[in-house]
Amino acid sequence: MRKILVAGNWKMNGSNAMAKELASAVANGFNSSSSVEMAVFPPFPYLNAVAEASAGTALQFGAQDVNENQAGAHTGETSAAMLVDLQCQMVLVGHSERRANYGDSDARVADKFAAALSAGLLPVLCIGESLEEREGGETEAVISRQLDAVLAKTGIDGFAKAVLAYEPVWAIGTGKTASPEQAQEIHAFIRDKLSALDGIIAGQLRILYGGSVKGSNAAELFAQTDIDGGLIGGASLTAEDFLAIYNAVA
């Protein structure tokens, strides 16, 4: 039985004090023996604070982005090896905000995904369509294009040690959650597409849903056959809201 993964993307929010307090409240607020895993993605400067606050607990953590290069003249960037050095277990790649505003093309996201894998990090690959693309009937084509770029780089084997997050851009931070049926339809499409390449890898792959998930809608979303957890933005910024999602599904 796959474990549900509830992952909190703090985005560019918080402070050192908040990071310590929030990570420790989350780490101490859930039962590690349950069927739910918990992870948080703080801003880079607070990774160390989260590492300390979560030491000896089951709370996992990672960064919100990674550079695709190994080292060198990349001022302001952070390598996968540096994240491993800070004890990160995972990293988000291709979040829609990075795709839209920070130059993360499909090809660059694929390079980041591969860099994370080769450093031993679990990449959480974010994919999803905009409202315009959905209304234009392009959802499946967009998802396919985003997946194909990564498949071209790592092959289906790359997905054996990765997590996917389907995040329709129109549902992120808008309060407009995809309905459980709408989300399930795309999750099934993704799993079928990958199953055609390797049924075992696709069957074991965790596909999270992201976009306005909260305590009140998590249970029905995660009850869908192909939804294996959530990537949570706004509702991961207080321990109360984040643990409400855990409590709704644990």
Q: Which stretch binds ligand PGA (CB under 6 A): 45-53, 112-120, 129-137, 229-237?
A: 229-237
The sign of the CA dihedral 195, 197, 199, 200 is negative
Residue pair 13/237 in contact by the 8 Å Cβ criterion: yes
Distance of closest approach, residue 27 Cβ to ligand PGA, in angstroms = 20
Strands (E) in 202-243, as ranges, are 206-210, 229-232
Count of chain residues binding ligand PGA (CB under 6 A):
13
Is there a catalytic annotation at residue 74? no
By CB under 6 A, residue 93 contacts ligand PGA: no
Identify the CA nearest to 146 among candidates 171, 167, 120. Answer: 167
Q: Are 167 and 231 in contact (CB under 8 A)?
A: yes
Please tell me the distance from the alpha carbon of residue 18 to that of residue 238, in angstroms, as a whole number: 9
Nearer to ligand PGA, 112 or 201 (CB): 112
Active-site hit among 68, 97, 133, 167:
167
Question: Please, what is the minimum distance in Å from the beta carbon of residue 18 to ligand PGA?
Answer: 17
For residues 65 and 201, which CB has a smaller minimum distance to ligand PGA in the complex? 65
Q: Which two tokens stand for residue 226?
A: 């192909």
Instruction: Let me know: does 111 contact 123? Beta carbons within 8 Å.
Output: no
SS3 content of the chain, % helix, strand, coil (to 5): 50, 15, 35
Binding mask 142-181 for ligand PGA (x = CB under 6 A): -------------------------x----xx--------
Shortest spacing between CB 233 and ligand PGA, in angstroms? 2
Positions 8 through 37 that interact with ligand PGA (CB under 6 A): 9
Q: Any contact of residue 40 with ligand PGA (CB under 6 A)?
A: no
128 touches ligand PGA (CB under 6 A) = no
245 touches ligand PGA (CB under 6 A): no
Q: Select from 211, 217, 239, 242 the one that contacts ligand PGA (CB under 6 A).
A: 211
Q: Which helix (H) or strand (E) element contains residue 222?
A: helix 215-222
129 is catalytic: no
Q: Among 28-36, 48-56, 140-148, 233-241, which window interacts with ligand PGA (CB under 6 A)?
A: 233-241
The DSSP annotation for 63-90 comes to ES---SSSSSS-TT---HHHHHHTT--E
Asked if 122 contacts 60 with a C-beta cutoff of 8 angstroms, the reply is no
Active site residues: 95, 167
Which residues sit at the interface with ligand PGA, rule CB under 6 A?
Answer: 9, 167, 172-173, 210-213, 231-235
